Structure 1
Amino acid sequence: MKKLLIAFTALFAAFTLAACGAGKSADNQVVKVGVVGTDDRIWDSVAARAKKENINIKLVHFTDFDQPNAALKSGQLDLNAFQHFYFLDQWNKANHGTIKSIGKTILAPIRLYPGKGVKSLKDIKAGDQIAIPNDPTNEGRALVLLQTAGLLKLKHVALPTPNDITDNKLKLKIIPVDASQTARQLTSVAAAVINNTTAQDANLPANASIFVEPVNKDSAQWINLIAANAKDVNNKTYKKIVAIYQTQATKDVIKKAYGTSEIPAWDIKLK
């Protein structure tokens, strides 16, 4: 009985130590965050600050805009941070998803960049080609940008397609391509509508663009966000990551890295 009691005590002590170890591991939780592109300056800063809160953020990179939501839905990711509200809404509808926003991040106006022989809007001539992203959300956003720039007119619809062009006096040829390929088209087209992530990866400075999407009350749908599965919207660790992101320290990183090309949007006032 004495030997049995000693063995039981040793087993209980080992179990207690293991439990303590598990608790420590939980305190240093690894959170996988899906992002698009290779520029991690904002998230590197957030991750460094999160580590002080015993949260280890692991960035998972994607090149395709549909992949991070699919990976989040399937449980391969804990969070993702690459999309705006409109894109998320459309993706959920198309994929029977229940992904939710748990916090706003930035507003990144899209831009029209010049291609061969073009230095300003005035240089775009009859019959020129303009590349735009081909995913439904960014395609519509790009067409609205071209309308705002005075290059064409569209039907009044929520998200236009090239078929909704009603006036194209210059007979411009709109070339939809994968968003990640828009910057590469600049060697063969007059201009291309390029989102910030792709422009950054292509080392295109914001001031090289010839037209910028206006920021106004219509911009709310284009605010980027941190997303989680519906079951995780109240997860304390994920909420802490959002709180770490939405700080003056992050604003300082954004300003230093991107100037005015990306705008902190968690407390923005749109008019």
Structure 2
Amino acid sequence: MKKYVKALSLLLILALAFALSACGNSSSAGLSTKDITVGVTGGPHQQVMEEVAKLAKKDGLTIHLKVFNDYNQPNIALNDNELDANSYQTMPFLKDQIQNKGYKIAAAFKTVAFPMGIYSKSIKNLKDLKNGDKIAVPNDPANELRALQLFEKAGVIKLRTGANVTATKRDVISNPKHLQIIELDAAQLPQQLNEVAAAAINTNFAMGAGLTVLKDSIFHEPLINNPYPNYFVVRTSDKNDKVVKTIEKYYHSPEVKTFIEKQFGGSVVPEW
């Protein structure tokens, strides 16, 4: 009986050692050169990655896309090894997620920028805002700061010095027209344009409502050298993986650049 127990214990130890060894080999082997899974948000990020996937497919790399409808789940899935990469976020948002949630993820390369615009159904110029008017901004970290900075650049308000990614309307120190700043979920902003004088709207949600930066916004971020480029993000351990470098080559190709410029008419711009 004792011999049986010892033999069983030895087998369990060997099985555990093999399992640990296999996990280690899988980790050190890096990303698969045959197929990977990339998380994207629906809309332009998805469309561009579909073009990247077409190029990769020709060389034997299959890129599976998993589409998300919010800004938090793709990073959770990447950190939990449910994805190999994601493509949808700006650097301020990424840094906030890493700092506050402890994710072991990192930016690998720049992708595209979505110049944020201010839209209105009642005025043609922000100078026409009246005393006490309502203006709306997205209420999520990074995007609210970005929207407030856009109104600041337009001369509508002034933020306190040092306002960072956690900024809200409480960080506004000058509001000459006593504007009511309404903080809303980013996806709701296009539907609220009839209720406010003006709203700063993320480009993907504006496009979903049939709005474009060049034709419909009354003020917008620069199209060239936009301060908020998006990034292709991977787990920190995979940042220098050869597959990531290969995908960067496809993403930064002339074919993808041409697709972006023709498809989005300035609402989405290449950042390389």
User: What's the TM-score once normalised by structure 1's chain length?
Assistant: 0.82
CA contact (8 A) 2:223 2:266 kept: no
Helix, strand or coil at the partner of 2:75: helix
2:176 maps to what in 1? Answer: 169
Alpha-carbon distance in structure 2 between the residues aligned to 1:131 and 1:63: 21
CA contact (8 A) 2:223 2:269 kept: no
Alpha-carbon distance in structure 2 between the residues aligned to 1:123 and 1:195: 22
Deviations 1:209-235 (A, max 9, x none): 000123677x44x11110000111122
Match of 2:209 among 189, 192, 202: 202
Residue 259 (structure 1) aligned with residue 265 (structure 2): yes
Alpha-carbon distance in structure 1 between the residues aligned to 2:168 and 2:70: 21
2:186 maps to what in 1? Answer: 179
Aligned pairs (5 A) from 1:95-134: 95-115=101-121, 117-134=122-139
Aligned pairs (5 A) from 1:5-16: none
Helix, strand or coil at the partner of 2:67: strand
CA contact (8 A) 1:36 1:197 kept: no
Offset of 1:105 from its aligned partner?
0.6
Alpha-carbon distance in structure 1 between the residues aligned to 2:86 and 2:151: 29
Alpha-carbon distance in structure 2 between the residues aligned to 1:27 and 1:227: 17
Match of 1:37 among 38, 42, 51: 42
1:71 maps to what in 2? Answer: 77
Alpha-carbon distance in structure 1 between the residues aligned to 2:88 and 2:139: 17
1:235 maps to what in 2? Answer: 241
Counterparts in 2 of 1:49 and 1:255: CA distance versus 1, 3 Å: same
Paired residues in the alignment total 237
CA contact (8 A) 1:41 1:253 kept: no
User: What's the TM-score once normalised by structure 2's chain length?
Assistant: 0.82
Alpha-carbon distance in structure 2 between the residues aligned to 1:183 and 1:37: 17
Offset of 1:27 from its aligned partner?
5.4
Q: Percent identity?
A: 39
Aligned residues: CA RMSD = 1.7
Segments of 5+ residues of structure 2 without an aligned counterpart are 1-31
Counterparts in 2 of 1:152 and 1:27: CA distance versus 1, 3 Å: closer
